[in-house]
Amino acid sequence: MEVWPGKAYPFGATYDGTGTNFGLFSEVADKVELCLFSDNGAGRLEESRVMLPEVDEFVWHGFIPNIEPGQRYGYRVHGPYDPAEGLRCNPNKLLLDPYSKAIDGNFDWNQSLFGYTFGDPDSRNDDDSAASMPKSVVINPFFDWGNDRSPGYEYADSVIYEAHVKGLTQTHPDIPEQIRGTYAAVAHPAIIEHLTELGVTALELMPVHHFANDSTLLERGLTNYWGYNTIGFFAPDSKYSSSPNPGGQVQEFKAMVRALHEAGIEVLLDVVYNHTAEGNHLGPTASFRGIDNPAYYRLVEDDKRYYMDYTGTGNSLNVGHPHSLQLIMDSLRYWVTEMHVDGFRFDLASTLAREFYDVDRLSTFFELVQQDPTVSQVKLIAEPWDVGPGGYQVGNFPPQWTEWNGKYRDTVRDYWRGEPATLDEFAYRLTGSSDLYEHTGRRPVASINFVTAHDGFTLRDLVSYNEKHNEANAEDNNDGESHNRSWNCGVEGSTDDQEVNALRARQQRNFLTTLLLSQGVPMISHGDELGRTQQGNNNVYCQDNELSWIDWPNADTELLEFTRTVSALRAAHPVFRRRRFFSGDTVRGRGGGEGLPDIAWFAPDGSDMSDEDWDSGFAKSIAVFLNGHGIPYLDMRGQRVIDDSFLLCFNAHYEPIEFAAPPSNFAPAWLRVIDTAAEGEVEQSEVAAGEKVSVEARSVLVLHAPLE
């Protein structure tokens, strides 16, 4: 086979119309073989090997004419095998290209995938793994994007919807059965219409980087449903593709992004750069481990056969090594420039800050992101914790980053389940968490607010279960979080008790109203607006079945309509989408009259909240005035932003409470617009200034004072 020298960059397999350039980094290799696979017509792949002829700066490379898209390939790396020194090269193990743009096939779990013989981790196993390995695929990089462009929403105007490709689409009756569970299904008009009517501006997809199904799960008849087990940082997973062709998932993914952009919806990816599917020292040799183990992984300093594990998955990517960092940055740029995604949510982002041992938010990774002209301009969301020492870093990420606000989730859950001494912290969370973000120069939009996410109870289960019920995971109910801050409203699980079910419905409306009307960026977990249940399972990571999928045929349409109403209210009024924190300062009043603060807090009797009121451990009721004249910035046309004013009355008490509307200088009258105690549409009755209005037990009443 004719092989030309080619180029050392770009890494991976790059097709240019005449052939394909291959480039692989390995500092420890003695030589590298490129393995090309072709179908022999009898259902088996035949392998031919080519020695890469050139190496420059530890990059092994070569160009082969006439190698076209669809070609399956892998590598065999010759080099030292000395686990005690962290070296695990073995040319008998076929290796995936770390820069694979597509991957075809699945792991056939057996002894050949491992570098040692079972039962003896210090041994060397030379079984050939090629027949049991998935293969990298050369892709066609060309795609007709047309006039595609990012919708480019400001954070303040965003509503994020976290979803799983399959879980979102698998049971939808309007989607053709042959494409359910795929990227094509996400692009279907039925899904796009649902998202747009809900007011969603960004779809955040759970991991779509190609991932491995764990052998331990497969042995139990389960699967790695969530996908937090990446083995290909550039490759959209073929398990979510309706295309039968190797590499077809790339075109299908791009078509999905294009369709969502046309509908005004951004695409965010949940990315897992903190570890890989190769696991700890007992894991398979599938890619990075056999290519250059010490470059790609954090090893235990005094015994390099073992891996540092800040993720709970067996290994941690070595973000202190330049080529490992380059891999991450190249991957991020690829997804933005070639796949047109609009941002990323970084799983266990604190691990990326562990340049040495401690978490350092000024580590090289964050410096590279800040300096990168492409990656720095998209949405960057951190899950600001990992399982290592000092890993909980909510509020401590750099200024251009936003964060999943775990304190928002915990506080709002505690408030609505009636925990004592939550009122003051609830006020911080409702107004954008200035206590967490203002000191770093950030704004309310740094807070990605959420009540539920993929990890934990769904919203319906949050109000239906006190305990987790994870028996289906076959781990004796020992997996998953035990402290859920949930309340079952009096009965564990499903019930025919109408009063309990009515309370649960109200509590769901309370959570959604609080979430959508808080300052910051709301994130809805897929199906919460439809009453999705997992039957009390708070860890469905291994449940690829009806337990985890949205049950579209049995959706709670009343809850859906309510969520649409509250989302539309948020979208219509910038007072709920402020770009600055409240100051409490007096601003010009209505019609230029007496000045009013930009925010005011009231006890139910209409008096200003005192220190004693805030410190009262039993207090569960509060009203907040949001001044539409107190928005301290100009719009894009240089015009002052002025909005209507609102009064939000929160009552987490178990009995109704009478709230006094503010005096007439705040507004001569108020209109009811949201009442979570009401079933169906809210009666548009008027509440006069100073008038008392009853707010039902465990409910929210939103009053609106239109501009004169």
Rounded Cα distance between 186 and 172, Å, is 11
Q: Which has the closest alpha carbon to 22: 98, 132, 106? A: 98
Under 8 Å between Cβ of 109 and 215: yes
Q: Which helix (H) or strand (E) holds 624?
A: strand 621-626
Q: Which two tokens stand for residue 467?
A: 């305990």
296: nearest Cα among 77, 482, 91, 126: 77
Cα separation, 233 vs 98, whole angstroms: 7
The one-character DSSP state at 237 is: P
Q: Tell me the angle at which helices 557-572 and 498-517 cross, rounded to the nearest 10 degrees.
A: 20
Question: Which class for 527: exposed (0-12), middle (13-18), buried (19 or more C-beta within 10 A)?
Answer: buried
Point out which residues pair with 597 in neighbouring strands.
Answer: 586
Q: How far is CA 487 from the centre of its chain?
A: 25
Nearest CA to 136 among 297, 24, 292, 247?
A: 247
Catalytic residue flag (residue 347): yes
Give the pair of three-digit tokens for residue 172.
């939808």
Question: Which residue in this structure is represented by tokens 């009755």?
Answer: 685
Q: 347, 529, 544, 675: which is the annotated catalytic residue?
A: 347
> Which tokens go with 205?
């997809």
| Contact residues for 442 (Cβ-Cβ < 8 A; gap 6+) | 399
- Give burial (CB, 10 Å; 0-12/13-18/19+) of 30: exposed
| 383 carries an active-site annotation | yes
Torsion of CA 257, 542, 332, 11, to 10 degrees: -110
Contacts of 458 (CB under 8 A, 6+ apart): 452, 525, 527, 528, 532, 533, 534
Rounded CA gap, 76 and 256, in Å?
35
Query: In which element (H, E) is residue 378 found?
Result: none
State the Cα–Cα distance between residues 50 and 480, nearest whole angstrom.
47
Contacts 24+ apart (CB under 8 A), 53-56: 53/3, 53/5, 54/5, 54/6, 54/8, 56/8
Say which of 97, 237, 309, 383 is annotated catalytic: 383
The catalytic residue positions are: 347, 383
